Structure 1
């Protein structure tokens, strides 16, 4: 992701930011005559959902927050989620990392979101609190004098935002990194630090890391409805819990709370909390790690569940004593059932094998039942029989198997991992939803659990355990409408769309309304680039970061992505984040791959990647593209220099071109049907003097370039079907013209440009990849960093 700077006030004054539907036809010349409609190419989820919050007083009102993909509101009528932050623009991309969400229990149209993606220098901008009076249809923005970490460690801990139910004009915010507790008294418009709050926290997971070195700070706020007390969890194992009995004027440590700051001698913090108001219990999940990546029992650290009696002040350790995996794992989310006092549930954090465990108690934590269990035979043979309370239905998201098959007790479709979001509907005991690192699961049959009884019994005659009969209920995907993939590259073949995605590898879609086939062979952890042979689009290539030491980084398909072959692993290039970029000649005869390690020169293959030969004349890291007409011509760019090959990619030579950006993120693409026509976008390294940033074009294979003066900035460029039978391909770009960031289109070879998106549809950072469709005039595909693959069509 590009690191960019912009001028921003660090004050607490609110700035209106209204998302109004409709086309804002900004232009460089001429007016956009086409209104657009926008949709997602459906994946259903694809990223981490660290928080799900139901409104306490209005049924069917719920919000789901994501770490980089914005905020969503539940739509009961359609059983789907509605995105609420698509208005966030390119320069404020960090606002799509949602640290916390609070829904007002008094005036239920009000909702708040604490935003900011990184607390380090990856995001140069401060955090903010977004406030809405109409359930997220429009928003105001109150910037803060510190950063927040929607994609940092600890993002799945308890909600840092909370509305005071006794005075809903008062909203609290817990901050990281020594910034303490903050409060607004005007419905989130302005904020001030609560100077009386005595402890800003001191827990740092890894002081030597640029990513895990946050002081987790003030973690969550809970209100005791019986007497108005306010409880605040703090990342300080010695003083983890504070209370105010006078509406936040003064604060004191809760007596006895230091006992919860240690598990097996390891320092722990109060990660999440939930109050059972009817019984007067505060439940707290503690952990040695802020999550979401750790917490596995093999660490020997784990966590605990504690219960505080709010009337007596007495503490009880109610951690489940039994686990199918032999010891109690670390925990993620915790939730209570408002309709059934004494009922609560908790989830393990990252119990990778064979699955996460969901715990349920109906007696305030005195006893617990597990969502699954083992039944061993008399010889304690491995693997044992596994028995489950519910079955997982991945319909519509079949990729959740990640290409695996059931392997004994390790099912391909799991309960999940990184389960910090766990929420029983306060109005419906049968509904629960939980978020994972990939999706949202849920059911409306939860109380069927209570009629099942034990999962495992003892056969006295046989002398061993037996699985008891269970009438299972169904848990299914509840992520419809949530599109959270970070798309790295796009190839539109005409009728088939191929995408490379972070974390998930990639997808091949013939129907944009369905998730399609996940690219699983080679075994990409993240897809990085895709390309196809322009004269033979049945041949598709892709590159990605790979697991293990077997698969090559490059994958090849000869049937438009229906099936894939792995390529030979290149000696000396490790797995990990080395996918780099790949290109294929117009006829599909030659593949050229640039490894992403930054030290290995590009290589070529003429046998579908079974052998590789070092390309002569190109430096390591050179980005290569193929001419879309001439199979012998390929092009490359590196550090301000442009290269061309006339022998099918065997060797390259500098073209002598000048005036291109010498540094920064740069990409270029070859225009379909036009030999030697190239368009280049990018630049902008803020660390150099007078950085070049914008768009250039060449008509002679990169020998000479002219700048497109319409754009002050440009980051991605691509092509679609032209206007008319002989028209130049439509050109699409994510760029800035006349001070306006947007998605721009030209239908006259770049002579004029029109902005096709509007202020309600900006999707934050859109600089990675863009392309049109070769068969559908006007259609554009946009890669986003956390809002999936967006596509737009000219409205009917």
Structure 2
């Protein structure tokens, strides 16, 4: 096998981040900005949602109490802060050029030198990410990081991201770290604390399991899944995505490797379905290695529609004996597959596991205190629609976790979760457990109360199933500080911020430091706008469900209540598109998708009519002064309507980019002032920032701006001044977020290298009432104020 090595190439700190995109002195092109404001220092916070995305890994350090890390699929890495019971982001320094570093595949916390922590990063193993992955290494618990680039990609947002952990520190020699690679790249190892890496060339099996070879996203070989250490016998175990050869062991410190006898038969499906070993956990006191399996790497699917979706097997590391300890019961249906697995290091023989996507009515947590011989469950069915639970789910602080639903029989609005693959008992405190879901982190500090509760279900004298009385404990949200929602649009109304977000719908914040309920149900937010002369009136669209597709939603009270317009006939599910409302709220113009001609309404959506002169999927925006004017862009052409969106004509503008235009926006209080961003990856396509002062007839490209992703406006710096302009751009060769107070003549970078957030800022806007405040789509919504 060809030997491959790679060496650390950079060192980046969350505070200094010197090797990323250096800020340097104020460039010349900024000199025209108001000189009294050139040295503004920004402070940055998140608009609080509390997570809102998938947390596939929670890692407790086995030596130092309260040292806990969490990894997210798209929102970076975090460290727990016990004093505030919040998480601190460790990867806000990630620059745009390396955006995939905020997608964390795996983490490992050193049990010997606890200041050391490692993260395997990279977004996609397929064409969606052009960069290779890397190992981030830190000697100060994640405050600063070094980077060891890898010669292959990693997939923090790929199928299987909840398996693992793919990174592991050898407790017998903590300078040695192992990495399980995807895509057939094998097993890798560092012997110098993560600085340099080489393939373990004698490891015999790089894996072969592919979910679906005909779908690019599902077509990658899952590779090497996890590494675990038997500290009694000094053995190293490696889980491989190969149903016929799923487990290997080394008894000589990784010098040689052999298949574990009987592993394929023990871990395989009796029906002949392909399964893989998703996770492992070692009980070094009793000499057991536990392995959970599934037909699917997750996190979306657990197993086949019928029959068991996986097993939980126990291997005696001393004798080689396999024992099936799969929990025998799941209320109402077969176990679809397992997601998470954890052992209690304080109480040998105690372990827990979770189902993976036991969609209805809820996930199940299984608990055993006798090494898997018997199991108890987190809830049980008394009858089809009645269940009894061991604990109460308290979503206080994250009210949106009800998804605007209500309890319906055995299906509760606030659930254990779904996609549960991060499941971890605190190795220092048997009462504490945390688990990650597709939306949040749950936890409790009263876990052992479970063991004194006894059975959940009994029988009465008539032989009927009845709920037995138990004293329930409380499970609460443990996600404060993690922010990772996908922001698609923002409407800053002044004192109120409305957001449209993928997956978690959208929110109306009147207090940026408080999580709010969603403002829409079954609505993955896409586009927002408000009437410039009456910001109480807001319109929005989303990728809504099939039963509710084809409408715009609107509010006349700054988002406190919402109503749906009449459904637009023929509009399929997923038709969010772009919506705008005229400055005087007289008309709504909506461009739903790539096949439907844009439409307009003059009665708040009671009736819709096709516009004249626009192609499907044209981007539409209203003038912020003249209620009769609406603008549109499509394929390098710019259009204008002077009859509130009924008819559009090509302005005849030339020189605009034919593609790569993610957005254009219209300046408030300035009739006819339009700003357009271009960021095509193609060298032949023009890119940068363009402005028009005559409603899109003529355009000027801002010479200093090399590329522009997003543009927005906020309160002017001076009375009667031009609105503050905020852009996500490359200016004078430097990436960042910039502000102009003089109409775009000069620009000042407002962020620093510690605050870059990877691919951020596709949505950016200022606040209409607070000068200097800017809102940015990043890991959730980040907002900055002048310190």
Fold conserved between structures, TM > 0.5: yes
Paired position in structure 1 for 2:74: 68
Paired position in structure 2 for 1:705: 699
* 1:557 pairs with 2:588: no
Alpha-carbon distance in structure 2 between the residues aligned to 1:562 and 1:614: 30
Alpha-carbon distance in structure 1 between the residues aligned to 2:587 and 2:537: 11
Shift in alpha-carbon separation, 1:258–1:477, aligned structure 2, 3 A: same
Paired position in structure 2 for 1:372: 379
**TM-superposed deviation, 1:82:** 0.2
Match 1:580 to one of 577, 581, 585:
577
Structure 2 portions without partners, runs of 5+: 18-22
Structure 1 contact 509–517 (Cα < 8 Å) conserved: no
* 1:548 pairs with 2:543: no
Report SS of the residue matched to 1:211.
helix
Match 2:157 to one of 147, 151, 154:
151
* 1:644 pairs with 2:645: no
Match 2:720 to one of 722, 726, 730:
726
Structure 1 contact 276–342 (Cα < 8 Å) conserved: yes
Paired position in structure 1 for 2:20: none
Shift in alpha-carbon separation, 1:10–1:730, aligned structure 2, 3 A: farther
Alpha-carbon distance in structure 1 between the residues aligned to 2:303 and 2:378: 17
CA deviation vs aligned residue, 1:197-237 (integer Å, no higher than 9, x gap):
00000110101001011110000000111122100000001
**TM-superposed deviation, 1:299:** 4.2
Paired position in structure 2 for 1:791: 783
**TM-superposed deviation, 1:738:** 2.1
Paired position in structure 2 for 1:511: 511
Report SS of the residue matched to 1:298.
coil
Paired position in structure 1 for 2:757: 763
Paired position in structure 2 for 1:452: 453
* 1:441 pairs with 2:442: yes
Match 1:625 to one of 618, 621, 637:
621
Paired position in structure 1 for 2:172: 166
Structure 1 contact 296–350 (Cα < 8 Å) conserved: no
**TM-superposed deviation, 1:11:** 4.9
Alpha-carbon distance in structure 2 between the residues aligned to 1:763 and 1:708: 25
Match 2:132 to one of 107, 112, 126:
126
Paired position in structure 2 for 1:5: none
Report SS of the residue matched to 1:789.
strand
Match 1:224 to one of 208, 225, 230:
230
**TM-superposed deviation, 1:618:** 0.4
Structure 1 contact 543–580 (Cα < 8 Å) conserved: yes
Paired position in structure 1 for 2:471: 471
Structure 2 contact 43–786 (Cα < 8 Å) conserved: yes
* 1:337 pairs with 2:344: yes
**TM-superposed deviation, 1:691:** 1.6
**TM-superposed deviation, 1:37:** 0.3
**TM-superposed deviation, 1:710:** 1.3
Structure 2 contact 526–540 (Cα < 8 Å) conserved: yes
**TM-superposed deviation, 1:789:** 0.2
Structure 2 contact 657–678 (Cα < 8 Å) conserved: yes
Paired position in structure 2 for 1:29: 30
CA deviation vs aligned residue, 1:183-208 (integer Å, no higher than 9, x gap):
01111111110001000001101010
Report SS of the residue matched to 1:74.
strand
Alpha-carbon distance in structure 2 between the residues aligned to 1:350 and 1:665: 38
Alpha-carbon distance in structure 2 between the residues aligned to 1:292 and 1:26: 46
1:184-203 map, 5 Å:
184-203=190-209
Paired position in structure 2 for 1:657: 653
Alpha-carbon distance in structure 1 between the residues aligned to 2:596 and 2:761: 26
**TM-superposed deviation, 1:294:** 0.6
**TM-superposed deviation, 1:25:** 6.4
* 1:18 pairs with 2:16: no
Structure 2 contact 296–303 (Cα < 8 Å) conserved: no
**TM-superposed deviation, 1:767:** 3.8
CA deviation vs aligned residue, 1:603-643 (integer Å, no higher than 9, x gap):
11112122211110001110000001110011000011000
Paired position in structure 1 for 2:587: 590
**TM-superposed deviation, 1:26:** 4.3
Match 2:290 to one of 283, 286, 289:
283
Paired position in structure 2 for 1:4: none
Report SS of the residue matched to 1:191.
strand
CA deviation vs aligned residue, 1:550-581 (integer Å, no higher than 9, x gap):
353421111111111112222222113x2111
Structure 2 contact 550–570 (Cα < 8 Å) conserved: no
Report SS of the residue matched to 1:93.
helix
**TM-superposed deviation, 1:16:** 1.8
CA deviation vs aligned residue, 1:237-293 (integer Å, no higher than 9, x gap):
111000011111110000010111225321100000000110100000000000000
Alpha-carbon distance in structure 2 between the residues aligned to 1:58 and 1:609: 59
Structure 1 contact 10–126 (Cα < 8 Å) conserved: no
Alpha-carbon distance in structure 2 between the residues aligned to 1:188 and 1:312: 33
Alpha-carbon distance in structure 1 between the residues aligned to 2:671 and 2:306: 58
1:673-688 map, 5 Å:
673-686=669-682
Alpha-carbon distance in structure 1 between the residues aligned to 2:467 and 2:546: 36
User: TM-score if structure 2 supplies the norm length?
Assistant: 0.96
Structure 1 contact 24–757 (Cα < 8 Å) conserved: no
Structure 1 contact 549–574 (Cα < 8 Å) conserved: no
Residues paired across the two proteins, number: 772
Structure 2 contact 306–334 (Cα < 8 Å) conserved: no
* 1:610 pairs with 2:617: no
Paired position in structure 1 for 2:534: 536
Match 2:144 to one of 133, 138, 143:
138
User: TM-score if structure 1 supplies the norm length?
Assistant: 0.95
Identify which range, 748-757 or 292-301, moves more after superposition. Answer: 292-301
Paired position in structure 1 for 2:738: 744
**TM-superposed deviation, 1:127:** 0.5
**TM-superposed deviation, 1:588:** 1.1
Structure 2 contact 6–198 (Cα < 8 Å) conserved: no
Paired position in structure 1 for 2:358: 351
Report SS of the residue matched to 1:665.
coil
Structure 1 contact 25–755 (Cα < 8 Å) conserved: no
Paired position in structure 1 for 2:480: 480
Structure 1 contact 263–304 (Cα < 8 Å) conserved: no
**TM-superposed deviation, 1:665:** 3.3
Alpha-carbon distance in structure 1 between the residues aligned to 2:582 and 2:372: 63
Alpha-carbon distance in structure 2 between the residues aligned to 1:782 and 1:273: 39
**TM-superposed deviation, 1:97:** 0.6
Structure 1 contact 24–759 (Cα < 8 Å) conserved: no
- RMSD of equivalent CA atoms: 1.4
Structure 1 contact 288–301 (Cα < 8 Å) conserved: no
Alpha-carbon distance in structure 1 between the residues aligned to 2:661 and 2:268: 45
Alpha-carbon distance in structure 2 between the residues aligned to 1:601 and 1:301: 48
Match 1:691 to one of 679, 685, 700:
685
Alpha-carbon distance in structure 2 between the residues aligned to 1:446 and 1:21: 40
**TM-superposed deviation, 1:301:** 4.8
CA deviation vs aligned residue, 1:680-708 (integer Å, no higher than 9, x gap):
1123142xx52211101000000000011
Structure 2 contact 42–750 (Cα < 8 Å) conserved: yes
Alpha-carbon distance in structure 2 between the residues aligned to 1:149 and 1:327: 30
Structure 2 contact 390–472 (Cα < 8 Å) conserved: yes
Shift in alpha-carbon separation, 1:703–1:234, aligned structure 2, 3 A: same
Paired position in structure 1 for 2:404: 403
Alpha-carbon distance in structure 2 between the residues aligned to 1:774 and 1:766: 21
Structure 1 portions without partners, runs of 5+: 1-8, 377-381
Report SS of the residue matched to 1:86.
coil
Alpha-carbon distance in structure 2 between the residues aligned to 1:594 and 1:302: 43
**TM-superposed deviation, 1:322:** 1.3
Structure 1 contact 342–362 (Cα < 8 Å) conserved: yes
**TM-superposed deviation, 1:516:** 2.0
Match 2:256 to one of 243, 250, 256:
250
Report SS of the residue matched to 1:267.
coil
Report SS of the residue matched to 2:216.
coil
Paired position in structure 2 for 1:425: 426
CA deviation vs aligned residue, 1:736-788 (integer Å, no higher than 9, x gap):
1122110100011111110000000001112421000000000000012xx10
**TM-superposed deviation, 1:44:** 0.2
